Amino acid sequence: MSDDLEVIHRVLNGDAEAFRLIVARYEHAVIRMLRNITCDAESYQDLAQDVFFTAYRKLRTFDPARSSFSTWLFTIARNKSINALRRKRPVVMSELPETAVRNDPCEQLQQRQVLDELDRQLAALPAAQRRAFVFAEFEGLTYDEIARIESTRIGTIRSRINRAKTKLRAAMEKLCT
């Protein structure tokens, strides 16, 4: 965190190249988060570049007293993902392709098919549940951090994550029976 502030200070004093350190530090987390939230194999890298560019432009508005830099950056990424999903037609459960996965025993399935099916189940979750789940399970953020990013109460986040987990667990159990 103090490292981030030092780099931010350098950038704000005109050393734009120092921002490369920020990109290097957070690129994996931002790209991973956007891929899992948007479930879009094509455009998430462009979206991630957009997140960093926006962060650079708005760096003056970052207030360390209000949140950590990573929370602030994830908030930008979250907003970009919502805009990107608005432009895209949402995936609904009834449109998901029926796969052989549902009826066959797990041992006989290709591992990849099972994991792909879980990807589809994740993509079919409501966007807010998917975001909360990805932040908590894939990014390891605390409920408090997620609540700040989503501008909502911790209880709401807890319930979104629980609902997402229940749906995904049910899907996994179905795949394994």
Binding site for other proteins (CB under 8 A): 16-17, 19-20, 23-24, 27-28, 31-32, 35-36, 45, 48-49, 52-53, 56-58, 60-61, 63, 106-107, 111, 114-115, 118-119, 137-138, 169, 172-173, 175-176
Residues comprising the chain, all counted: 177
Tokens of 33: 């988060």
Inter-CA distances, 90 with 32, 33, 34, 137, 139, Å? 20, 18, 16, 22, 23
The nearest distance, CB 138 to other proteins, in angstroms, is 6
Closest CB 8 distance from other proteins, rounded Å:
14
The single-letter code of the amino acid at 61 is: T
Closest Cα to residue 175, out of 106, 96, 120? 106
| Min separation Cβ 107 and other proteins, Å | 7
Q: Which C-beta is closer to other proteins: that of 82 or that of 168? A: 168
Q: Among residues 23 and 156, whose Cβ is nearest to other proteins?
A: 23
Q: Are 47 and 60 in contact (CB under 8 A)?
A: no
Nearer to other proteins, 28 or 102 (CB): 28
Q: What is the largest CA-CA distance in the chain?
A: 61
Closer CB to other proteins, 47 or 157, in the complex: 47
Between 115 and 154, name the residue whose CB sits nearer to other proteins.
115
> Smallest gap, in angstroms, from Cβ of residue 67 to other proteins?
13
DSSP letter for each residue of 21-55:
HHHHHHHHHHHHHHHHHH--TTTHHHHHHHHHHHH
Instruction: In angstroms, give the least distance from the CB of 153 to other proteins.
Output: 22
